Chains A and B, each alone.
Chain A
Amino acid sequence: MDTNFEAILNSLPTKEPRSRLEPYSELITEMRKRGRTYREIVQVLKKSCGLKVGASTVNDFILARPKSKAKPLLSTSRTRATKKNLEGLTGTYKDTEAHQSIGRPQKTLKGTAGTIKELKDRPLKTRTKKPLFEYNPDEPLRLQRNQRTKE
């Protein structure tokens, strides 16, 4: 980073954490690592720390954290599966716990690339279908008595 920018940043006073959950960040992180649900975390915070928050607040707090911090928050089984997948990169996603657990269809990497290309090439749905029948309410009904034909 530019040294001037760095100097400016260093001169700024330290800002208080915005979230009430910031002091409990480590505890929350650890509980997530151990597979605790948001609801369980809320209960622990209430019971042990006297902090009253909703599950969605905990969820938002975790999501708002930088990715490097958020990564370990994955449940152990999911983390293992993801690691295995990344290390192996054998060309398939199948047999990974992660995919089985979320029930997605198993696709080869080649297949996924094809899907992405297909999705990109797919034309957008247009809703401008020509109407079968048009009627202008501002025009009077035009009688055609003399041209009456069999319908």
Chain B
Amino acid sequence: MQESNTAAPVEWKNLDSPPVVSSTAPYKRVILTMGGKGGVGKTSFMLALAEWFHIQEIPVSLLDLDTENKSRGSLKHYFDGRVAKVNIYTAAGLDAFVDHLAEGAPIILADMGASSGQVTHEWFDSMFEDVAATGVAFTAIGIVTPDPASVESILSWAARLQDRVNYVVVENAMTHQADFSYWRDSEQAKQFRAVFRPVVLAMEFRLPELENPSRQHGVTLGQIVERRLKVPELQRASLVIRAQSYRRRLFEEIDKAKGLLLP
């Protein structure tokens, strides 16, 4: 799908001079959420993805580009100190992708904000060709919920990003029996799937007694499972087991998309 997959990779050692094409250096990949609709679970999925990479022992750079989401619920809230907050509303905001790749991590996880569409699309229009030519591939993560606005959001992004990225779509069941009709049965979404063949993953409904305190205290499922917390409401044995099984199933889903997540 992506032209960059055929490009020779690049060594990022010295960016004062033009990147040097190398036949030995690995490819790099930027994984970004398709912002647009707020509150659909972008950050929750990115957290799980960060943990998945951690378990695989693959280093990632975490970028929080969600300037609207300042406190609880932002990526920085969960991984403070290990997340670079980036203001994309500057002339070269998304050049942070290039700079962080140059620092060495083979993968960037970028949590985009709800209103980051225009800036991101413009960056792709002006920079993609040259960045991709250095061996960087892009994967766009779209999160859909029963809300048709979440579907419209990823369709709008896809209409701008086209085949410059690979697509992973996560069906986030925000209720017990979620109805994804607008994603599964609408003409426009079907067309999107037919053209770009996204990998579709399921993210199951999380109990509020697990989801809410973990958001409140900024803890990941992994931390709950490992009982490293001093949060009483998250120490209940049943919740720990739930977190464990939830995480296991989500990781199994993420495995399905590994081809689009690894460099």
Contact = CB atoms under 8 A, between A and B. Distances in A.
Interface string B191-223: 111111000000000000000000000000000
Interface in B124-157: 148, 151-152, 155-156
Contacts of A143: 181-182, 185-187
Q: Is the interface of A mostly helix, strand, loop or mixed?
A: loop
Interface in A95-151: 131-135, 137, 139-145, 148, 151
A151 B148 contact: no
A132 B186 contact: no
19 contacts: A131-B159, A132-B162, A132-B163, A133-B191, A134-B159, A135-B155, A135-B156, A135-B159, A137-B152, A137-B155, A140-B148, A141-B152, A141-B182, A141-B187, A141-B189, A143-B181, A145-B185, A148-B185, A151-B193
In the complex, which of the residues A134, A135, A144 has the most CB atoms of chain B within 10 Å of its own CB atom?
Answer: A135
In the complex, which of the residues B163, B186, B188, B190 has the most CB atoms of chain A within 10 Å of its own CB atom?
Answer: B188
Given A137-B155, A141-B151, A143-B181, 14 more contacts: A132-B162, A132-B163, A133-B196, A135-B155, A135-B158, A135-B188, A137-B152, A137-B156, A141-B186, A145-B185, A148-B185, A151-B190, A151-B193, A151-B194
Q: Which 6 A-B pairs have the closest CB atoms?
A: A141-B186, A135-B159, A142-B187, A135-B155, A133-B195, A141-B182
Contact of B158 (A133, A141, A151): A133
B188 A141 contact: yes
Contacts of B186: 141-144
Nearest to A134: B159
B190 A132 contact: no
Contacts of A132: 162-163, 195-196
Nearest to B155: A135
B181 A142 contact: no
A145 B194 CA distance: 17
A151 B194 CA distance: 7
Interface residues of A, number: 15
Contacts of B156: 135, 137
Contacts of A151: 190, 193-194
Contacts of A134: 159
Given A133-B195, A133-B196, A144 B190 contact: yes
B190 A133 contact: no
Contacts of B185: 143-145, 148
A136 to B, nearest CB: 8
Contacts of A133: 158-159, 162, 191-192, 195-196
Nearest to B187: A142
Contacts of B159: 131, 133-135
A139 B191 CA distance: 15
A144 B184 CA distance: 9
Nearest to B154: A135
B152 A144 contact: no
Nearest to B158: A133
A151 B182 CA distance: 16
Contacts of A144: 185-187, 190
Contacts of B195: 132-133
A144 B162 CA distance: 24
A134 B193 CA distance: 12
A134 B156 CA distance: 9
Contacts of B187: 141-144
B254 to A, nearest CB: 22
A141 B154 CA distance: 12
